[in-house]
Structure 1
Amino acid sequence: MGALAALGPLAIDMYLPSFPAIVEGLNTTQGQVERTLASYLFGMALAQMIYGPLADRYGRKPPLLGGLIIFTIASVGCTLTGDIEHLTLWRIAQAFGGAAGMVIPKAVIRDNFSTRDAAKAMSLLMLIMGVTPILGPILGGQILLFVGWRGIFGLMAIGGALLLLASLLTMRETLAPQNRAPLRVSSIAGNYWQLLRDRQFICFSLSGACGSAGLFTYISGTPRVVMGVYGVAPTYFGFIFGLGAAALILAAQVNARLLDRHTTEKLLKLALISVVVSSAAALALTLLGLLTLPLLMVCLMGFMASQGFVNPNAAALALSRQGMRLGVASALMGTLQMLFGALAGLAISQWQSDTALPLTGILAISTVLSWLFGRIGLRAA
């Protein structure tokens, strides 16, 4: 489930280092190549809303297999494309396939586990899901050196094909026949409307979505600050960038262990405080002109470690009461995370500064909103 959940996020930014090579190879502009990323994010957000009802009606396995087939074919199309227009279309198709891996694993986890055990499983899911967008560009940069930008998409195709084979041979269906929901427009619309009115679900989902906005802020803003503001050479940037990934991995595993002795609600409450403190400290140091690179990394690692607690616990609590509409609930939660992440990435790309203020400012806004929605969700729970 972790590998499936990583597939879509990996395809988001694994090809980022190859932008200049794609510009040259397809005789296009940087802006047109960047729009292939926006197209992917849009497709990913929209497709998740489709997979949810399908997973609740036909079970978890058939929609997943269909999505993996689409992803693999689209990845081959990206590899062989000859112009930027077709690359954009294949990226949208790739997003529609990869979105299955964003929706189905969360529903499978809730099919099998109670709230506390689901939070532990979500922590293990976070191990791969959270670190994939961070390590994706590093991996893509290394692949680019040996096989070029087409090889990056070729590797995505191989990954999709292997996961398709593994799911086909080893995955069992986890949705009981009596829990299958009818596939009617009125029923689907009703489920989404009820979810939007469910204070516990929507607040925990928004808390996780704002946390995802902070994660995309880290991904988008750290390269500019570390290399542009503090002058770190690109050779060493990957190591500094990876410190946040290490903090996220470690914290997610600690969270899984602590859930044996503490409630999901207690850990989320403490993590929401920690995530605000770390980002607020970074913003204050920036405004006072005292932010050095070591202090920035301490604050960012604090934020990433806190996210290792916030995301899995918020997701488990959001899905804890959804019963027969787990697929729809997982889809809506994933869509919110993708939309908020895209908005944060857009905001930091538009906010130009020769300081770390765009990074620390948007990070602080994201974490305060995450704390606010999380607190409301805890009261509702």
Structure 2
Amino acid sequence: MPLFRTALVLGLLAAVGPFAIDMYLPALPLIAQDLQVTETHVQTTLTAYFACFGLSQLAWGPLSDRFGRKAPIFAGLGIFAVASVGCALAPTIGALTGFRALQGVGAAVVMVTPRAIIRDIETGPKATRLMAMVMLVISVSPMLAPLAGAGLMQIGSWRLMFWVLCGAVVLSLLLTTFALKETLPEEKRTPIRARSLLAGARILLTDPTFVGLTMIAAFGFASFFVFLSSASFVYTGQFGLSPTGFSLAFAVNAIGFFGMSQAAAPLGERFGTLPLIRVAVTCYAAFNLLLFALVAAGHASLPLIIGLLFCANAFLGLVVPTTMVAALDPHGSIAGLASSLGGTLQMVTGGLMVTAASPFFDGTALPMVGAIALCSVIALTLTTVMLPRIRAQGDPVA
């Protein structure tokens, strides 16, 4: 398939999972009110989604190596559809949390398989360019999904969002059937054997390149997950924004991330992968630490928070596609397993950070930006420690 068409198809499929998060964000305070639970209880529905979204990738990756890329997509989207109906009908926060977890299981497949498909057809800077194009397509989710959610809240309850997600799954199934080419031929498929999976996992987890780059991206993702779980309460509570106003503010931060991601491939080609990652992580951490210092000093204005998060997320947009591609590059023979293990580490890290930070959230900006700054400091520390080891072992991504 032509590069643009491939990116468009993969991006639309991969956007299903983020769309299920982003459209839901403006409704979090309303859900807490409707189900008569606390902010922390509602945040648990996001944590459950993230955790299952991450852990399930461990299964979808090997399944995609065994049965090809398309069959697992059909299965995962079917699970997602059933879970969406359950969310729409959930009578309690417990039921909603359970069905959100099941949604995460199904949505995980469209995170794993696009990465593996990219590795099937491209490597190096070309793969980074394709990954960045896929992320550009995904960017419609954080920019439009919260607005769509706010709009749906004007004509119905928060439950309507999950019926809309069912419709999105139908479109995704049609897209997979008619527009997605199978990229893993029969002769290259790998049987699922516990011994081979453990051997592959051992190779990946003892590879400084894979572990280092994956965990740098993981704490970058974690900072974004912290923002996702708390921003609606901060923006609507502390700053009095409406659901639509929150959606617009959220979109500004997403534009920084996805806009800059398009520069990742050409900058990587010009300056090298590792130098780009080092500079981008440093700038990402610097903006987050500056934001935390200013908010802690009492300067928690909405324009300041939006502006500095925009800058920080812009540099994170350079980090994520570059590290994701570079981590997979040396492992083409187990691309599905590498993609799933990497995705699991990233999503579980994000879920754990949200869980650890949740007790400190009080509806104000300081705990949110503090947790985001902590994630960025950990990412910077990993960058400082791991990148010299990657360069020292002469890895081709250097």
For normalisation by structure 1, the TM-score amounts to 0.89
1:321 and 2:352 matched? no
Distance, in Å, in 2 between the alignment partners of 1:37 and 1:240 is 20
1:104-183 to 2 correspondences below 5 Å: 104-129=113-138, 132=141, 136-183=145-192
Matches of 2:314 and 2:158, distance apart in 1: 32
Alpha-carbon distance in 2 for matches of 1:369, 1:252: 21
State how far apart, in whole Å, the 2-side matches of 1:53 and 1:278 are. Answer: 38
1:360 pairs with one of 347, 363, 369: 369
1:303 deviates by: 0.7
Cα distance per residue 1:231-260 (max 9 Å; x no partner): 556553333332211211221123344445
The alpha carbon displacement at 1:143 in A equals: 1.2
Unpaired runs of 5+ in structure 1?
none
Change (3 A) 1:372 1:126: farther
| 8 Å contact kept, 1:59–1:175 | yes
Letter in 2 for 1:190: A
User: In 2, Cα distance between the equivalents of 1:123 and 1:307?
Assistant: 13
Partners in 1 of 2:136 and 2:363 — Cα distance? 33
2:285 is the alignment partner of 1:276:
yes
Residues 150, 244 of structure 2: 8 Å contact kept: no
- 1:43 aligns to what SS in structure 2? helix
Match of 2:231 in 1: 222
Rounded to whole Å, the distance in 1 between the matches of 2:318 and 2:19 is 21
2:311 pairs with 1:266: no
Aligned ranges for residues 235-246 of structure 1 at < 5 Å?
A: 236-246=245-255
Task: Determine whether 1:10 maps to 2:19.
Answer: yes
- Cα distance change of structure 1 residues 174 and 375 upon mapping to structure 2, 3 Å threshold: farther
Percent of aligned positions that are identical: 36
Are the aligned partners of 1:127 and 1:249 in contact in 2 as well (CA < 8 Å)? yes
Q: Is the 8 A contact 2:236 2:246 kept in 1?
A: yes
Does 2:77 correspond to 1:75?
A: no
Q: How far apart are residue 93 of structure 1 and its match?
A: 2.7
Distance in 2 of aligned mates of 1:74 and 1:295: 38
Q: 1:199 aligns with which of 196, 208, 213?
A: 208
CA offset at residue 164 of structure 1? 0.9
What is residue 314 of structure 2 aligned with on the other side?
Answer: 305
Once the two structures are overlaid, the 10-residue window that deviates more, 180-189 or 323-332, is 180-189
Residue pair 2:132, 2:264 contacting (<8 A) in 1 also: yes
Q: Structure 1: how far apart are the matches of 2:360 and 2:169?
A: 36
Asked whether the equivalents of residues 56 and 324 of structure 1 are also in contact (C-alpha less than 8 Å), the reply is no
Q: Could you tell me which amino acid in structure 1 is paired with residue 346 of structure 2?
A: Q
Whether the 8 Å CA contact 2:208–2:386 is kept in 1: the answer is yes
Map 1:46-85; keep pairs closer than 5 Å.
46-81=55-90
Q: How does 1:19-98 map to 2 (within 5 A)?
A: 19=28, 29-30=37-38, 34-81=43-90, 86-98=95-107
The structure-2 alpha-carbon separation of the partners of 1:89 and 1:238, relative to structure 1 and needing over 3 Å to count, comes to closer
> Among 172, 188, 212, which residue is 2:221 paired with?
212
Counterparts in 2 of 1:314 and 1:72: CA distance versus 1, 3 Å: same
Distance 1:198 1:291, change over 3 A: same
**1:342 and 1:336 mapped to 2: Cα distance?**
10
SS at match of 2:190: coil
Deviates more, 1:78-87 or 1:103-112: 78-87
Shift of 1:29: 4.1
Q: TM-score, normalised by structure 2?
A: 0.85
* Aligned residues of 1:119 and 1:264 also touching (Cα < 8 A): no
- Mapped contact 2:27–2:243 kept (Cα < 8 A): no
Counterparts in 2 of 1:362 and 1:36: CA distance versus 1, 3 Å: closer
Q: 1:191 touches 1:328 (CA, 8 Å); kept in 2?
A: yes
What is the CA–CA distance in structure 1 between the aligned matches of 2:43 and 2:292, rounded to whole Å? Answer: 29
Aligned residues: 380
Letter in 2 for 1:41: F
Which of 81, 102, 106 is matched with 2:111 structurally? 102
Quote the RMSD (CA, aligned, Å): 2.7
For residues 136 and 172 of structure 2, what CA distance do their matches in structure 1 show?
Answer: 18
Quote the Cα distance in structure 2 between the aligned partners of 1:338 and 1:111: 23
Letter in 2 for 1:210: F
Q: 1:375 to 1:62 in 2, by over 3 A?
A: farther
Distance 1:128 1:365 in 2: 29
- Residue range with higher mean Cα deviation, 288-297 or 144-153: 288-297
Encode CA deviations 1:129-150: one digit per residue, 9 max, x unaligned: 4663575444222212223233
Unaligned runs of 5+ residues in structure 2 are: 1-9
Of 340-349 and 94-103, the range deviating more from structure 2: 340-349
- Separation in 2 of the partners of 1:190 and 1:333? 16
Q: Displaced runs of 4+ in structure 1, greater than 6 A?
A: none
